[in-house]
Structure 1
């Protein structure tokens, strides 16, 4: 069976239409439809059902989808094993948003220059979501916030970058007393459900600060933009950027919480030699 057929089924289920799947796979909708017909003929059952422009998996389709990721992972493992130690093949990388905008462009540029046979698949997400994707084997590696809980021995975490929390305030704020600013200025909270957002909550609790909360967001770039418009102040990691104009970053009183970014991967992955190439190039970027 051509592995592209299963990839197409996964894309159709995820996007809910042939057009959406075609965009994701960078093929035509007709090619999507043709691949599904071939897969259905090969398996012998109908896998998707149309309702107007919406396409949904049938019961049999859901059953096939439940095993598809594992099958594709095994196919990738075989290809990697066949290449031995060559820096070639597919590497599936997850990344939180701030690393995608501030760090990964340079890393991917260097990887493409040095290893032209390395195919990169990049998936955005939250630290919690990407952690689960790596543990399940759906991703080879992910750049995430270091978990605060004890990780299983089956995974390894390679530190990449340390980002102390800072107070982000409008450029016009003349005070330097962080606690006074937080107690008297509208506060834009970094979503406490995010692993990084919990650091801000722990700082507020440690200093017994009850800010006048205005918004709670999970997107750091949106938080910084709102601060630049004078809508409040926020506690965020000193991430790689880019940063909006019109803001300043004030250091927090000691000890300031630190968000640690690193690469999570399975210890026994057959693509760990590719992961090592990624982490080495990323280490150059952080120096």
Structure 2
């Protein structure tokens, strides 16, 4: 089977439509449709079927996509072996991070990348939910993602997941709060407090929801703000309390209190396509991510 046709099939599977696959492959939708038809004729089985105004994969198509991942990973591995003959990792790596991970890691990461001549890292911060991650992996070589530690893991047969850290979520209180002198606070002590949350579907909201299930204390969310620096400013001004990630929380602006009797945290993970880290350039960026994570969480 032709590699280009398998790559077209994978892009269609990852992106869900012919037009989106065409944009990713920098070609026309008709060219994508032609490639899919040619591959279907080659295997002698229907790989797609009508679904509304578009197409979806058949069972045979989904099975072939899984095998296409193996084939394309093997091709990537072969290309990586050739790249290994170079003296240092080279080429472009596309890296996406959710904003608070960028706040935590990116300053040090950019310094590390600068010490790797020949490596070109293109970085974007993306406000992502866990369900967005598989689609982002289609656009980026590495996606730094986060999820509630009680949520289902990202790990599927079509994703390669590398754990970076477990980050506790602590309660942020304004200075002068009645619980200011406590090292840890009980969830029941926060009943009736106005909470500053994030949009539904993001990991911190998932933690708040699981907190309610486990303790029976239903947080009253009065505002939903995704920018943690804005949330800190609102907490500092006395407009509510919030669950915020420990390693980026600015304790010069707000008080940080651990939750007693309950584990509240998110996992931060690097997510890649299978075989992606066989590329020396991608492996180098992944190594820098691990090193920077260790450095900032140990300080």
With normalisation by structure 1, the TM-score equals 0.67
Residues 134-283 of structure 1 mapped to structure 2, 5 A cutoff: 134-135=136-137, 137-146=138-147, 148-150=151-153, 151-175=155-179, 176=182, 177-238=185-246, 240-241=247-248, 243=250, 245-269=252-276, 272-283=279-290
1:119 Cα offset (Å): 0.8
Shift of 1:129: 6.4
SS of structure 1 residue aligned to 2:171: strand
Q: Return closer, same or farther for 1:270/1:172 CA change in 2, 3 Å cut-off.
A: closer
Partner of 2:24: 69
| Structure 2 counterparts to residues 86-165 of structure 1, below 5 A | 86=86, 87-113=89-115, 115-125=116-126, 126-128=128-130, 131-135=133-137, 137-146=138-147, 148-150=151-153, 151-165=155-169
Query: How big is each residue's C-alpha offset from its partner over 1:128-159, in whole Å with a ceiling of 9 and x where there is no partner?
Result: 36513344x21111111147335321211111
Provide structure 2 residue ranges, at least 5 long, that are not aligned to the other structure.
1-16, 28-71, 295-299
1:223/1:209 CA distance change after superposition, 3 Å: same
Pair 1:219–1:141, CA change in 2 (3 A)? same
Aligned alpha-carbon RMSD (Å):
2.9
After superposing on structure 2, the runs of 4+ consecutive aligned residues of structure 1 that deviate more than 4 Å are: 62-66, 80-83
Name stretches of at least 5 consecutive residues in structure 1 with no aligned partner.
1-61
Number of equivalences: 219
Q: Distance in 1 between matches of 2:289 and 2:256?
A: 25
Structure 1 residues 217 and 82: alpha-carbon distance in aligned structure 2, compared to 1, 3 A threshold: same
Deviations 1:195-252 (Å, cap 9, x if unpaired)? 33201221122111123331122222222221111101012222x3262733011001
Cα distance, 1:88 vs. partner?
0.6
Taking the aligned partners of 1:236 and 1:209, their CA distance within structure 2 comes to 18
Deviations, residues 262-283 of structure 1 (Å, cap 9, x unaligned)? 1000122376432321222222
Relative to structure 1, is the Cα distance of residues 71 and 132 closer, same or farther in structure 2, using a 3 angstrom cutoff? Answer: same
Is the 8 Å Cα contact of residues 187 and 233 (structure 1) preserved in structure 2? yes
